[in-house]
Structures are given as structure tokens and as C-alpha cells.
């Protein structure tokens, strides 16, 4: 099933039209009662797409024209792996961690594929350009510049969950949504200043995603060098390092380490792996080395996150 969404338009109304259409397949998992929307006085909109299981493949295309007056913060909070690709490109990349954020700016087209059996839960914040211009200078988000930023941190998921829980309390929900916006945009501004604010356009982003595929597998024993990754991205090593840090918020090998740690945390919390099993799976020479790395990253030992359930 194919779904096309226009970021410039109300998502709930678009889904209502899709769901009410004669050719709509309910096996996609979508229904009107699973989509919540709250609109705030500053024209910001917050959507929650409740958990659904896709019994048929779903191919979703989200478009935002270059002349768009809207930005979209799109949040995957379902915990399953997503397969994303850019329009007219063969690049696929997988997410191995439970939460992620994409900022859709004017001029972007992104396709997302949900496979059979995939469980998804999504939240989105639609923001008018006038709102951004009121609070932020255009020094880090320039009109017409394609900017897509991905944040895989766990902490922000707590704020998103809190906003969802408060969706019937408009003032509280608005406060939490503003905190999410502030968190993301401040992070983008910080990363842009650290990496000389390189303009990233479609080809650059596609090539960065292509290179990131070699870093996204938490179980990989071979991590390519910066030179090898830069070759994949069709960039010089210096441009690749700066562009990668701007796009993903950290250096390539730090990015891979982050995915390893968050993969480990997910396995521990679900009770699927013990700390000792993970230390071997992630190729640590001794369980104590894994424990040290985990504690340095999360500030707690792996056993504290392990669920025996």
C-alpha cells in the first residue's frame, strides 16, 4: 500500500481521506481513532500515531515543497527498525535503536518502508516557518537550505512520551512540545557551529546515509576507516568528518559506539540478552570491558538495566 503525505497540510485530515477512500486496505493498520491531533495558539501542531502493526507492506512518501512555510519534526518512538531511503536513490539504511528524530525542511522528499509485521508508533510536530523565525536566527537554518538532522538519544523520548500522556491537557502538552522543539533546535545549532555549518543538500545527505550504513550494525566487527567512509560518501576525509558530525551530531566512530550501546540497552531492558552474552556478542575481550564502556555511556552498570522478565 502506498501513502503520500504533504507536510504543508494537516496530517489527520490527509489520513482521514486516505482511510475513507474505497481502495484503502485496513491491513495497513491505520484507523482514524489511532491518530490524535492537538493544535496550539502559535499554530504549532502535535500528532500522535498510536501503535499499529502492518499486516501488509506500507510505502510512505512525505513531501515538503521548496516554497513550503512548514517544518516537521518527525519522531519514531515505536522501537522497531525502520527502512528509509531518499527519492530516486537506492540507498537504504536501518535504525538499530528505538527512538529517532528527523527534521523535514522545505525541499525534502523522504520515503519510509514498513514491512509486514512491523509495529510502528510515531509522533510529529508541525511548525510554521514564522514560529522558527520568531525564536531562532537563520544563521543555522537558512531559507532554502536542505537540512535533515537525526537524533537517536533516549532522553528526548521521555519528553515525547510525557507530551503524549498530556495530550488531553492542552497547556501542559504545549509546554512539553515547546521543550522538545527547543531541545532539537538547540542541538542543531550547536552541531552546526561545531562543524562550520556546511550546507548539506540531497546528494550530500544521500552519500552520508550510504556511508552510515557501515556504522549502523551494532554487531559489526569491522568498522571502516575515515578514508574508506569518505570514499563511499564521495567526499574528502575532512569534508566527510565535518559533514557527518553536523548531520548525525557526532563523529563516525562515536556514532557507531552510540548505536552499540543503545542496542545493548534495548536488549538488556527487554531481557533478551544478559550482560555477559552482550559482551561476547559485541566483541569485548572481557565482560568487565563491556561493563566499563556501558557505565561510561549510561552512568549505570549493565546489570541495573537487565530485565529478568
CA 135 to mean position of chain CA atoms = 23
- pLDDT for residue 8 is more than 80: yes
CB neighbours of 285 closer than 8 A, spacing ≥ 6? none
- Using the structure block, give the residue that is written with the C-alpha cell 514498513: 114
Contact yes or no for 141/105 (Cβ under 8 A): yes
**CA-to-CA separations, 89 to 21, 133, 157, 202, in angstroms, rounded:** 30, 32, 30, 10
Distance CA 309, CA 306 (A): 9
pLDDT of residue 18: 94
pLDDT tens track for 85-101: 445 444 444 444 434 67
| Beta strand spans in 181-241 (E) | none
pLDDT tens track for 210-267: 888 788 888 887 889 999 999 999 999 999 998 888 777 789 999 899 888 988 988 8
Strand partners, 101: 75, 151
Per-residue confidence band for 103, with pLDDT thresholds at 50, 70 and 90: confident
Strand partners, 296: none
DSSP letter at 142 equals -
pLDDT tens track for 134-175: 887 655 665 545 555 555 566 677 889 999 999 999 999 999
Grid coordinates given for 85: 531511503
Distance CA 157, CA 82 (A): 17
**Minimum mean pLDDT among 22-36, 52-66, 100-114, 216-230: which range?**
100-114
pLDDT of residue 93: 41
Burial class (CB in 10 A: 0-12, 13-18, 19+), 129: middle
Write the Ramachandran bin of 219: left for phi over 0, alpha for psi from -120 to 50, otherwise beta.
Answer: alpha
For 53, half-sphere exposure in the C-beta direction (CA atoms, 13 angstrom radius) is 2
pTM equals 0.69
Contact yes or no for 67/117 (Cβ under 8 A): no
Distance CA 43, CA 285 (A): 53
pLDDT of residue 94: 45
Q: Which helix (H) or strand (E) holds 202?
A: helix 202-212
Distance CA 249, CA 163 (A): 24
Per-residue confidence band for 31, with pLDDT thresholds at 50, 70 and 90: very high
- What domains can be seen in the chain, in order of their start residue? 2-194 (2.60.120.10), 204-305 (1.10.10.60)
Distance CA 108, CA 99 (A): 21
pLDDT of residue 98: 37
pLDDT tens track for 35-52: 999 999 999 999 999 988
Amino acid at each position: 500500500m502506498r501513502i503520500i503525505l504533504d507536510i504543508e497540510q494537516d496530517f489527520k485530515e490527509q489520513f482521514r481521506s486516505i482511510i475513507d477512500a474505497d481502495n484503502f486496505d485496513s491491513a495497513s493498520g491505520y484507523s482514524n481513532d489511532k491518530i490524535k491531533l492537538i493544535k496550539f495558539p502559535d499554530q504549532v501542531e502535535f500528532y500522535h500515531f498510536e501503535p499499529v502493526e502492518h499486516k501488509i507492506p506500507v510505502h510512505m512518501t512525505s513531501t515538503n515543497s521548496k516554497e513550503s512555510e512548514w517544518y516537521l519534526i518527525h519522531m519514531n518512538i515505536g522501537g522497531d527498525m525502520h527502512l528509509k531511503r531518499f527519492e530516486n536513490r537506492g540507498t537504504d539504511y536501518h535504525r538499530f535503536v528505538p527512538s529517532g528524530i528527523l527534521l523535514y525542511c522545505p525541499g525534502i522528499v523522504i520515503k519510509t518502508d514498513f514491512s509486514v509485521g512491523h509495529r510502528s508508533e510515531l509522533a510529529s510536530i508541525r511548525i510554521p516557518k514564522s514560529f522558527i523565525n520568531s525564536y531562532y536566527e537563520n544563521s543555522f537554518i537558512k531559507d532554502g537550505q536542505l537540512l535533515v538532522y537525526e537524533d537517536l538519544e533516549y532522553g528526548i523520548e521521555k519528553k515525547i512520551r510525557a507530551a503524549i500522556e498530556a495530550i488531553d491537557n492542552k497547556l501542559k502538552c504545549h509546554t512539553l512540545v515547546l521543550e522538545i522543539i527547543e531541545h532539537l533546535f538547540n542541538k542543531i545549532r550547536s552541531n552546526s557551529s561545531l562543524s562550520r555549518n556546511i550546507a548539506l543538500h540531497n546528494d550530500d545527505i544521500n552519500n552520508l546515509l550510504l556511508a552510515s550504513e557501515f556504522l549502523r550494525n551494532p554487531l559489526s566487527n569491522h568498522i571502516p576507516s575515515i578514508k574508506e567512509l569518505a570514499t563511499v560518501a564521495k567526499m574528502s576525509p575532512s569534508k566527510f568528518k565535518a559533514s557527518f558530525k553536523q548531520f548525525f551530531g557526532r563523529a563516525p566512530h562515536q556514532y557507531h559506539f552510540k548505536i552499540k550501546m543503545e542496542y545493548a540497552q534495548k536488549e538488556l531492558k527487554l531481557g533478551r540478552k544478559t550482560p555477559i552474552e552482550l559482551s561476547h556478542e559485541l566483541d569485548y575481550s572481557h565482560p568487565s570491558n563491556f561493563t566499563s564502556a556501558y557505565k561510561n555511556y549510561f552512568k549505570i552498570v549493565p546489570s541495573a538495566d537487565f530485565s529478568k522478565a
